[in-house]
Amino acid sequence: MDQVAQILQNTVNLNFLDNYRLIYNHLKQIENIPPFSDKYYSFAESARNFMPVIYLLGFIKAFIKAIFPLFIIPLFLGFKNSLTRSHILVLFIVFSFLITFYYSLIVRDFVSTRFLFVPAFLLFPWIGVGMVRILNFVKRSSKQKTLAAVFIIVFILMPAGKIANSCSKHDNTISIAGRWLGKETKYNNARILTNDMRIPFYAGRNLYSNQEKDLLQYGNDLHNHEDVEQFATVNRVDLIILKISEKEEEILPTFKHFKKIKEFSGRKRIAVIYRSKEF
């Protein structure tokens, strides 16, 4: 309940827009820096002024990905039936989920596709109705066998192949690193610098009310190890948590004032945790 109250208070005070303002101001600062044109309606200026629209487009893309893009066709056909009160209630729940996750996207500047699976699944009855309509059309067609083959490929084999491919590429390094950090109670109050906020999120850190600024995000190039350590030292960081691609393992830094305490390796990613020698 305390966390809910904190979120509501931050919403009333517009504190949830802190990260939004930070990105907005950054885009404003780089408008005059090449390759931007330093003229009206440049890309940087347009992106800054239309950030909510850009967020919305990215959010729609993520939601369509959660549904499976080709299922949009039967979904559209499924909505041709009149809506009952029960249908309206389900759609209201879907809309509530989407508004909540869109809010989360603006607050944290990222949204995981898996969070959108619940509202996506709630739309599957309409997708099923749409598929029935498509099958009825196939049965009435003179090219029944051809259309049936297309239906099987598009709506059965392709989704199944995508799921199998996703499972084979699944990498839970980030969640494992976060859960390990969450169990290490001695780091509960540690000041963290990371290039992936999902790790402290999985550790149970509150990303919504980062009032003490104990979570810092590093967005610069990791190849320059001295810059990373200098940034961490200036900001009095206790832990540095870095996520890199498995292909870039050679860029893992070695610091003077931070000691590597844990490394997590997955199929695609590596997460490394460094602790300040003064902590």
Inter-residue contact 195 to 222 (CB < 8 Å): yes
Whether residues 263 and 210 fall in one domain: yes
9 in a domain, yes or no? Answer: no
Whether residues 55 and 163 fall in one domain: yes
Whether residues 204 and 101 fall in one domain: no
How high is the mean pLDDT of the chain?
Answer: 86
Whether residues 59 and 145 fall in one domain: yes
5 in a domain, yes or no? Answer: no
Whether residues 188 and 251 fall in one domain: yes
Domain boundary among 130, 145, 169: 169
Whether residues 204 and 222 fall in one domain: yes
Whether residues 161 and 197 fall in one domain: no
**Beta-carbon contacts of residue 86 (< 8 Å; ≥ 6 apart):** none
Q: What is the pLDDT of residue 12?
A: 59
Answer whether residue 211 shows pLDDT above 60: no
Q: What is the pTM of this model?
A: 0.64
Whether residues 156 and 106 fall in one domain: yes
Answer whether residue 1 shows pLDDT above 70: no
15 in a domain, yes or no? Answer: no
Give percent of the chain above pLDDT 90: 47
What is the band of 212 on the pLDDT scale with cuts at 50, 70, 90?
low
Answer whether residue 255 shows pLDDT above 70: yes
| Span 252-265, average pLDDT | 89
Whether residues 222 and 198 fall in one domain: yes
Q: What is the pLDDT of residue 178?
A: 93
Whether residues 55 and 152 fall in one domain: yes
Question: 147-151, 166-170, 208-212, 221-225 — which is least confidently predicted?
Answer: 208-212
Q: What is the pLDDT of residue 226?
A: 84
Q: What is the pLDDT of residue 242?
A: 92
Number of domains making up the chain:
2
Answer whether residue 210 shows pLDDT above 60: no
1 in a domain, yes or no? Answer: no
73 in a domain, yes or no? Answer: yes
Alpha carbon 96 to its chain centroid, in Å, reads 18
| Span 46-63, average pLDDT | 93
Domain boundary among 140, 169, 198: 169
What is the band of 245 on the pLDDT scale with cuts at 50, 70, 90?
confident
265-276 pLDDT tens trace: 888 889 999 999
Answer whether residue 192 shows pLDDT above 90: yes
Q: What is the pLDDT of residue 77?
A: 94
Give the domain extent around 221.
Answer: 173-276
Give the number of other CB atoms < 10 A from CB of residue 16.
Answer: 19
78-104 pLDDT tens trace: 998 888 999 999 999 999 999 999 998
What is the band of 7 on the pLDDT scale with cuts at 50, 70, 90?
low
6 in a domain, yes or no? Answer: no
130-162 pLDDT tens trace: 999 999 999 998 899 999 999 999 999 998 888
Whether residues 185 and 235 fall in one domain: yes
Whether residues 190 and 114 fall in one domain: no
Q: What is the pLDDT of residue 14?
A: 59
Answer whether residue 10 shows pLDDT above 70: no
The structure tokens listed for 154 are 């598009």
Domain boundary among 169, 203, 229: 169
What is the band of 16 on the pLDDT scale with cuts at 50, 70, 90?
low
20 in a domain, yes or no? Answer: no
Q: What CATH number has the domain bearing residue 194?
A: 3.40.190
Q: How far apart are CA 179 and CA 173, in angstroms?
A: 10
